[in-house]
Amino acid sequence: MLDRFRRRLEVLRNQPVARRQPIKVLVRFANAEIINAWLRYPFIVSHEFGALLIVEKGHHATRSHYFFGLQDFVDELFAIHYLREDELFIDVGANLGIFSIMVAAATRARVIAVEPSPSSSRVFKRHIALNNLMDRITVVEACAGDSNVAAFIKNTVDMDNFIVLGSADSQPDMAKIPMIRIDDVVDSTIPSVMKMDVEGFEMQALKGATRFLNSQNLHAITVEISDLSNRFGVSPEETHKFITSFGFTTVTYDPLTRALSAVAPPDRSQKMTLYNYKTIYVRSFDEARRRLSSAPRRRLHTLAI
């Protein structure tokens, strides 16, 4: 309980919306706790980017968008600022799909979302129907990997579900799922941005996307690179080197100022601070800076972004 309280205080100190409007964020949190936790009802809110969201107990991604406007502030705004109408956003490890909903609603880009958890996919599809985005978003109910085999995943809406290879009969609530290669489901002829968050399975997913990674139409990738990959015998450095071998470089982005900065990957001895969150890779620094700076500004609470 104390650790959870500390984490929430940390968010209030660092998240841009929470830092500027702490009282409003706390009121929203209290409102959600009363309706979701005490009364046990979901409720629908209208997001400023034009999407309707179902706020429900246990659905962390949706609740975070209600509290703060965006959950992954930098990563979501990077994709929204970069993409244009009818370009392609690939969301690998979509969870409840709220990131994809925000991108499709704000930019009118097309989305291919890969999500293996049946429970998460059901919530995602409810949001697609609610927002009438059936012509914008395609959900692929599978895990992304480097072969076409079966795997397992815990059938919940948790954000930290991870792939289990081989037999998982001894583990509760496991769903058997197909594995697909990104190269087999993505059109590499369309300008694209890809986001990948698959709890340590990134290298295997990337190896199933080598044709796509080689395409000049894949402009940027945001990837969660962390020590979670060690459970699959892959180090964070290996994943980073694999991505950069296709001509990508690491950058940081400030959505409030639209400033894009080139950064070097951290030294392993310095606890790899870059790898504690999604790392942004771009193919062309100048093209990325041009696109990000020219994207239309939107309102998010009191922020002009």
Taking only the tens place, the pLDDT of each residue in 184-205 is: 999 999 999 999 998 888 999 9
Angle at the Cα of 152 from the Cα atoms of 59 and 95, rounded to 5 degrees: 25
Q: Which residue has the tokens 């489901």?
A: 185
pLDDT mean over 102-109 = 98
More confident residue, 32 or 90: 90
More confident residue, 41 or 154: 41
The per-residue pLDDT of the chain, averaged, comes to: 87
Q: Go through the chain and tell me how many residues it has.
A: 305
The predicted-structure confidence for 114-124, as pLDDT tens digits, reads as follows 999 888 999 99
The predicted-structure confidence for 283-303, as pLDDT tens digits, reads as follows 999 999 999 999 999 999 888
pLDDT mean over 9-23 = 79
More confident residue, 275 or 96: 96
Asked if 109 and 83 touch (Cβ cutoff 8 Å), the reply is yes
Strand boundaries in the chain, DSSP class E: 43-46, 52-55, 88-92, 110-114, 137-140, 143-144, 150-154, 174-180, 192-196, 218-224, 249-254, 259-262, 278-282, 299-300, 303-304
Q: What proportion of the chain, given as a percentage, has pLDDT over 90?
A: 62
pLDDT at 111 (0 to 100): 98
Q: Residue 84 phi/psi, 5° resolution?
A: -120, 165
* Start-end of CATH 3.40.50.150 domains in the chain: 72-295
pLDDT at 199 (0 to 100): 84
How many Cα atoms occupy the beta-carbon half-sphere of 112 within 13 Å? 19
CATH code given to domain 72-295: 3.40.50.150
pTM: 0.90
pLDDT at 94 (0 to 100): 94
pLDDT at 7 (0 to 100): 66
pLDDT mean over 148-156 = 74
